[in-house]
């Protein structure tokens, strides 16, 4: 049984990735921070469709919890085949208005959380000499978003981290790739007014916001054998907004 761990999968992009990977035959571990009911809803949906899924509480910013989750999956299912480091939070506003606590929280959740999950997964993948890691960056990690400087820093860090790790693990049969979504209509953007969303969409060459499924489809391809010669890449899923 192939397994896939997705962090922050109780809603949004992570949810779509979990459901899509389950359709590909993976037993999926739906990582969640505090919304157990929502995570269980995702699992129920998958199970009712004939798949295998399990919700697992794991705060991405707590290394001990991340370690415990990967160890749990290794012990229960024997392998860790796919890991998607998806959990993330936004932080909007001028840098001068960010508290030290906010800065630390965003870095610990987005960047340290991603690095820790990849580290723990790598240990297992190195021993099994196979595996697929997908990290979730953002277009702001590619070009920087005004009033999202700390968020952009974490997402830029994820890009260079993913490229470096891809080089480190390639000869051991582990591929590492990164997706960089543009504007995807999920709860992370709840701080935007409809007017602001419309203005953003007006600038998108493909003329619409992205959907969680747009990102999930790219993850499915990256983790498939069809992408067997692809590693260390950043796949932009942004409707042409950032080229
Ligand atoms: P979302 O807010 O719906 O999902 C984020 C998920 O991460 C939620 O399930 C949340 O509970 C989880 N999470 C937050 N902190 C966590 C923690 N400490 N431990 C575990 N889980 C935690 O938004 P989304 O759009 O689905 O975001 C998913 C990823 O995509 C994030 O990394 C985000 O930065 C990235 N992204 C989103 C967009 C977009 O426009 N929606 C664009 C670029 C990148």
Output b/e per residue, 128-146; b: 16+ Cβ within 10 A.
Answer: eebbbbbbbbbbbbbeebe
State pLDDT tens for residues 41-86.
Answer: 999 999 999 999 999 999 999 999 999 999 999 999 999 999 999 9
CA 171 to ligand 1 center in whole angstroms: 31
Q: Where are the beta strands (DSSP E) in the chain?
A: 3-6, 27-32, 52-57, 82-85, 131-136, 174-181, 234-237
Tokens of residue 50, six digits: 């004939």
Q: What CA–CA distance (Å, rounded) separates 60 from 20?
A: 21
Q: Which residues of the chain have pLDDT under 50?
A: none
Is 242 within a domain?
A: no
pLDDT at residue 164 in the model: 99
| Residue 192 DSSP class | S
Would residue 21 count as lying in a domain? yes
**CB 88 less than 6 A from any atom of ligand 1:** yes
How many angstroms does the Cα of residue 30 sit away from the middle of ligand 1?
13
Q: What is the DSSP string of 66-116?
A: HHHHHHHHHHHHS---EEEE-------S-GGG--HHHHHHHIIIIIIHHHH
Q: What is the pLDDT of residue 120?
A: 98
- Residue 92 confidence (pLDDT): 96
| Predicted pLDDT of residue 199 | 97
Active site residue 26: no
**Within a domain: residue 214?**
yes
* 19 alpha carbon – ligand 1 mean position (Å): 16
Residue linked to tokens 């690095």 = 115
- Give the chain's domain count: 1
* Residue position matching structure tokens 């991340």: 66
Report yes or no on 243 lying in a domain.
Answer: no
Pocket lining: 14 vs ligand 1, CB cutoff 6 Å: yes
170 falls within a domain: yes
* Cα–Cα separations (whole angstroms), residue 113 to 77, 119, 138, 184: 23, 10, 15, 21
Query: What is the per-residue pLDDT for 110?
Result: 98
Containing domain of residue 17, as a range? 3-237
Cα 163 to Cα 231: distance, rounded to the nearest angstrom: 8
Task: Classify 223 as helix, strand or coil.
Answer: coil
Q: What is the pTM assigned to this prediction?
A: 0.99
- With a 6 Å cutoff on the Cβ, whether 138 touches ligand 1 is yes
**DSSP state, residue 35:** -
Token pair 């809803």 is found at 41
- Mapped onto helix, strand or coil, the DSSP state of residue 62 is coil
By most ligand atoms within 8 Å of CB, the mutation choice from 188, 191, 203, 236 for ligand 1 is 188
Which pair of structure tokens corresponds to residue 13? Answer: 């992009």
Quick check: CB of 176 below 6 Å from ligand 1? no
pLDDT at residue 19, rounded to an integer: 99
Q: What CATH number does the domain containing 40 carry? A: 3.40.50.720
CA 122 – CA 120 distance, rounded (Å): 5
Bridge partner list, 242 = none
């Amino acid at each position: 049984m192939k397994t896939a761990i997705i962090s922050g999968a109780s809603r949004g992009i992570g949810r779509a990735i979990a459901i899509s990977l389950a359709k590909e035959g993976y037993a999926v571990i739906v990582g969640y921070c505090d919304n157990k009911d929502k995570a269980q809803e995702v699992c129920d949906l998958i199970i009712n469709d004939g798949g295998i899924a399990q919700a697992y509480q794991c705060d991405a910013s707590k290394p001990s919890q991340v370690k415990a989750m990967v160890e749990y999956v290794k012990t229960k299912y024997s392998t860790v085949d796919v890991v998607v480091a998806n959990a993330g939070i936004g932080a909007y506003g001028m840098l001068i208005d960010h508290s030290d606590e906010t800065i630390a929280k965003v870095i610990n959740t987005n960047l340290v959380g991603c690095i820790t999950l990849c580290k723990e997964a790598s240990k297992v993948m190195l021993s099994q000499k196979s595996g697929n890691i997908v990290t979730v960056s953002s277009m702001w990690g590619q070009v920087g978003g005004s009033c999202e400087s700390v968020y952009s820093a974490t997402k830029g860090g994820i890009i260079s981290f993913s490229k470096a790790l891809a080089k480190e693990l390639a000869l051991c049969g582990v591929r590492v790739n990164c997706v960089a979504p543009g504007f995807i209509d999920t709860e992370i953007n709840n701080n935007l007014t409809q007017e602001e969303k419309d203005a953003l969409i007006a600038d998108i060459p493909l003329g619409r916001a992205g959907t969680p499924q747009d990102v999930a489809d790219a993850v499915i391809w990256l983790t498939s054998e069809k992408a067997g010669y692809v590693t260390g890449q950043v796949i932009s899923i942004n409707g042409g907004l950032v080229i």
